[in-house]
Amino acid sequence: MTALARHVLAEYYGCDPAILDDPDFLRPIIEEAVRAAGAEVIKTSLHQFKPQGVSGVVILAESHLAVHTWPEHGFAAVEIFTCGTEPEPEAGHRYLLEQLKPAYHTVRALERGDMDTIERINSGQAAAG
């Protein structure tokens, strides 16, 4: 399948709660993960929740990275969505593994925007479900 974009969904368990609750510490980590993926940072916005937790997004020239943390559980959920074939969201995930040092993680990679389906729909043919 030729796709318009790739979407990596990662969950990190057993991370240091202090790191997950510090937006000033997380900002350079997630921005460097974007660069490790070969993407370009446009803008970063992080929000500190009370009593704990951080959510944020990095807008990329190629799409986005989003992070949501639950320090009280040592857990972070991250998605890296990149358009085109050049950025490698998996490389951004590997960088986050090195920095967040989870005890356990899961990751799923999805291709988004199937070009065969897009071309079939745009040519007036019905899509196969």
DSSP-derived 3-state class of residue 62: coil
Marked catalytic residue, from 15, 63, 93, 105: 63
User: Are 46 and 27 spatial neighbours (Cβ–Cβ below 8 Å)?
Assistant: yes
| Percent of the chain clearing pLDDT 90 (strictly above) | 88
Output b/e per residue, 16-27; b: 16+ Cβ within 10 A.
Answer: ebebbbbbeebb
- CATH number of this structure's domain 3-122, picked from the four choices 3.30.70.2190, 3.60.90.10, 3.40.50.1100, 3.30.360.10: 3.60.90.10
Instruction: Give pLDDT, residue 74.
Output: 98
Instruction: Give pLDDT, residue 86.
Output: 87
Marked catalytic residue, from 83, 93, 105, 123: 83
DSSP-derived 3-state class of residue 84: coil
Domain spans of the chain, in order of start: 3-122
Instruction: Give pLDDT, residue 46.
Output: 98
Number of H helices and number of E strands within the chain? 4, 6
| Percent of the chain clearing pLDDT 70 (strictly above) | 96
Lowest-pLDDT choice from 3-7, 25-29, 57-61, 82-86: 82-86
CB-based burial of residue 98 (10 Å sphere; 0-12 exposed, 13-18 middle, 19+ buried)?
A: exposed
pTM above 0.75, yes or no: yes
Lowest-pLDDT choice from 46-60, 61-75, 115-129: 115-129
Q: Is the predicted pLDDT of residue 126 greater than 90, yes or no? A: no
Q: Is there a catalytic annotation at residue 63?
A: yes
Marked catalytic residue, from 7, 55, 64, 68: 68
